[in-house]
Amino acid sequence: MTVSTFLQKSSRGSIETLVVDNALGRAEIALFGGHVIAFTPHHDNRQRLWLSPVADLTGKKPIRGGIPVCWPWFSDDHGRAKGELPSHGFLRNQVWQLVETQQNEDKTTVILSPPVTSGEGFGFKTDVALHITVGRELCVSLVTKNTDIKQFTFNAALHTYFQVDNVSKTELLGLSGNYKDKLSNWQETPTPSPYVFSGETDRIHLNPVADNIISTSGTSTLVKHQGHDSIVVWNPWRSAASIADMDAFGYKHMLCVETAITQGVVLNPGDSRALTQIIA
Ligand code: TA6
């Protein structure tokens, strides 16, 4: 079904999607999770996002790949025992609503919002919206507005899975300073240079630089970050074999570079915070 010339309704498995295709780029957005699953600018026709070939597309668990939206906590940092509340918050499991679309000469913007923004682990009133702009670049912006009478603290991430030909031949440019290593009990460790990959990697970089470049097989993907306090870099490597919705060698073709808030943003009543990732 056509919503506008540039926006069509489609589906993947049992999940409804919106396909944006305009003069400069094409993206596919799953309503389940408010989740961008594909982006290809027309000028080079190169897919920027990795979607697991065995992703669960039943709408029963979060989609493995694309740009998962983590909110209002990151990972298992919800103050309860691990597993008591869903990893990365409770927006990845909801069917988001289409709120608005905007079109100008070379950009299409789709605004989505989740139906439920408070629940176990986070009991505040808030408006959350995801603004997705598709053109030569993809811009994804998660806007949190405090509509409560109380202040609250939240974390969030745009947990993007980038497609790479071979992660062993990939270099990540632009990071410096220390990172916290989840694999070494959060020990602070200096960022390697060159930043290349040869094993499981799960790191929260504390120096929130504005840009990264993922350099792989003669291509460069520019990743811009705004409104963040950290950048997370993740590849499960061989432990992908124990992740149900990744095949054993899926790790070779993905690298997560995440625009994140992991140190807690305090939002006063009436205030908003945008967390933005731009992919070129
Ligand atoms: O962002 C890195 C991370 O928090 C890892 O620790 C890893 O568990 C990953 O996210 C995937 O989480 P998920 O809940 O999607 O399986």
Report, in this order, helix, strand and coil percent for the chain, each rounded to 5: 5, 50, 45
Confirm if 7 and 18 have CB atoms less than 8 A apart: yes
Ligand 1 nearest atom to the CA of residue 74, by list position: 4
What CA–CA distance (Å, rounded) separates 15 from 51? 14
What digits encode the pLDDT tens for the residues 105-162?
Answer: 789 999 999 999 999 999 999 999 999 999 999 999 999 999 999 999 999 999 999 9
Residues with CB under 6 A from ligand 1: 62, 75, 87-88, 159, 182, 202, 232, 234, 256, 258
Among candidate residues 70, 64, 69, 89, the one with its CA nearest the CA of residue 79: 89
Q: Smallest Cα–Cα separation from 205: which of 164, 246, 225?
A: 225
Single-letter amino acid code for the residue at 53: P
Identify the band that residue 3 occupies on the pLDDT scale cut at 50, 70 and 90: low
What separation in Å is there between the alpha carbon of 101 and the centre of ligand 1? 31
Phi, psi of 250 (to 5 degrees): -60, -30
Which tokens go with 77?
Answer: 């940092």
Atom of ligand 1 nearest to the CA of 258: 1
* DSSP tag of 48: -
Pocket test for ligand 1, best of 35, 158, 159 (most atoms within 8 A of CB): 159
What does the pLDDT look like over 173-230, one tens digit per residue?
999 999 999 999 999 999 999 999 999 999 999 999 999 999 999 999 999 999 999 9
User: Among 69, 88, 160, 257, which residue has the most ligand 1 atoms within 8 Å of its CB, making it the best to mutate?
Assistant: 88
Tens digits of residue pLDDT in 227-258: 999 999 999 999 999 999 999 999 999 999 99
Q: Please write the tens of the pLDDT for every residue from 59-99.
A: 999 999 999 999 999 999 999 999 999 999 999 999 999 99
Name the β-bridge partners of 71. 89
In angstroms, the CA 111 to CA 32 distance is 14
Q: List Cα–Cα distances, 125 to 72, 115, 119, in angstroms.
A: 12, 12, 10
For position 5, what pLDDT does the model report?
Answer: 79
User: Mean pLDDT in the chain?
Assistant: 96
Phi, psi of 253 (to 5 degrees): -110, 10
> Atom 11 in ligand 1: which residue has the minimum CA distance?
75
For residue range 252-277, what is the model confidence (pLDDT) as tens digits? 999 999 999 999 999 999 999 999 99
Whole-number Å distance between alpha carbons of 280 and 274: 19
Task: Give the pLDDT of residue 256.
Answer: 98
Return the residue matching tokens 């999607």.
17
Report d(CA 67, CA 33) in Å as an integer. Answer: 9
